[in-house]
Structure 1
Amino acid sequence: MTIFGAIGIAETGMTVTRKWMDAISDNIANVNNATSTDEAAFQERFVVARPLSSGQGGVEVQGIELGSAEGRLVYEPDHPLADEDGYVRYPSVDMASQMTQLIAAQRSYQANAAVVDRATESYRAALQIGQA
C-alpha cells in the first residue's frame, strides 16, 4: 500500500464516520419528539457500512436503516397530543446508547484523521530525503 493509499482509505473511514455522527445527531435531536398515538414515532437512524467493492481497502455507506416506528407510549394526560387515554408516543431512542455511539464515532474519526496526518508527514519526509 502506498502513502496515498493509506490517505484514501482513511478518508473513506472519515466519510463513513461523519455520516454516522450525522445519524446520531438526528437521533439525539428527535429523542423528545412526541406524536399522537395514531402517528408513527421518529425512527432511529442506523448507518450501514460495507467494504469498498474495488478491493483496494476502505469503506462506504451502504445505506441507512430505520428503527421501529412504534416507539414507546408515555402517559401524559396534559400533553396537547395526548389521546383520550392520556398517552403520547415518543421515539424508542436510548440517549445513553446514542452518547456511547457518539464517543465511538468521534474516536473513529480522530483515528482516521491521525492516519491522514501521519501519512502526510511520511510523504513530506520522503520528499525531504529526495532533495538532500
Structure 2
Amino acid sequence: MDAIAIASSALTTHRKWLDAISDNLSNINTVTPTSGAAFQARYVKVTEGAGITGVNVTGVEYGDAEGKLTYDPENPIADKDGYVRMPDIDLASQMGYLVMAQRGYEANAAIVDRAKSTYEAALQIGKG
C-alpha cells in the first residue's frame, strides 16, 4: 500500500499547489490604493516525508507586498498622482506552474489507479 500512500500525499500537495495558483491567477488584476499592500502571490512550501511517506506541504510563502505601481487615473482608488498598486504576479510563470501542477496531479492519480489494479490482481491470484 506504500505506492497509494505516497501518491496520495503527492495528490494532496498538487491540489494545494493548484489552489494557490488559481488564487494567484484570480487576483492578478486586483487593485489596491498606493497606501496599502498589494495582493501577495501564494507559493506552496513542500518537503519530502521521512522514509517512504511521500511529500508534505509545510506552509505557504508570500510574494512581495509592494507589488507594482500602475498609472490608472480613472480608477476611483487612485492616489492624487493617478497611481494604484497591483500585485507583482507574472502570468506566464503562473501558467507554467499550472501546467506542471496539473500534470503532476494526473500522474499521481494514474499511479493510484495502477497500484489499485495491481493489488486487485494479486488478490485474484491468492483466491485461485
Q: Same fold (TM over 0.5)?
A: yes
Q: Which consecutive residues of structure 1, in runs of 5 or more, have no partner in the other structure?
A: none
Is 2:104 the counterpart of 1:112?
Answer: no
Instruction: Tell me how far apart the structure 1 counterparts of residues 113 and 52 of structure 2 sit (CA, whole Å).
Output: 20
Q: What is residue 119 of structure 2 aligned with on the other side?
A: 123
Q: What is residue 51 of structure 1 aligned with on the other side?
A: 48
| C-alpha deviation, 1:83, in angstroms | 0.5
**Structure 1 runs of 4+ off > 4 angstroms?**
none
| C-alpha deviation, 1:57, in angstroms | 3.1
Q: What is residue 89 of structure 1 aligned with on the other side?
A: 85
TM-score by length of 2: 0.97
Instruction: Tell me how far apart the structure 1 counterparts of residues 112 and 17 of structure 2 sit (CA, whole Å).
Output: 19
Q: What is residue 94 of structure 2 aligned with on the other side?
A: 98
| C-alpha deviation, 1:56, in angstroms | 2.4
Is 2:59 the counterpart of 1:63?
Answer: yes
> C-alpha deviations, 1:16-70, integer Å up to 9, x for none?
00000000011011111000101000000000000113x2230000110000000
State the aligned residue count.
Answer: 128
SS of 1:60 mapped into structure 2: strand
Q: Which consecutive residues of structure 2, in runs of 5 or more, have no partner in the other structure?
A: none
Instruction: Tell me how far apart the structure 2 counterparts of residues 44 and 95 of structure 1 sit (CA, whole Å).
Output: 11
Is 2:12 the counterpart of 1:8?
Answer: no
SS of 1:46 mapped into structure 2: strand
Q: What is residue 20 of structure 1 aligned with on the other side?
A: 17
Instruction: Tell me how far apart the structure 2 counterparts of residues 26 and 115 of structure 1 sit (CA, whole Å).
Output: 27
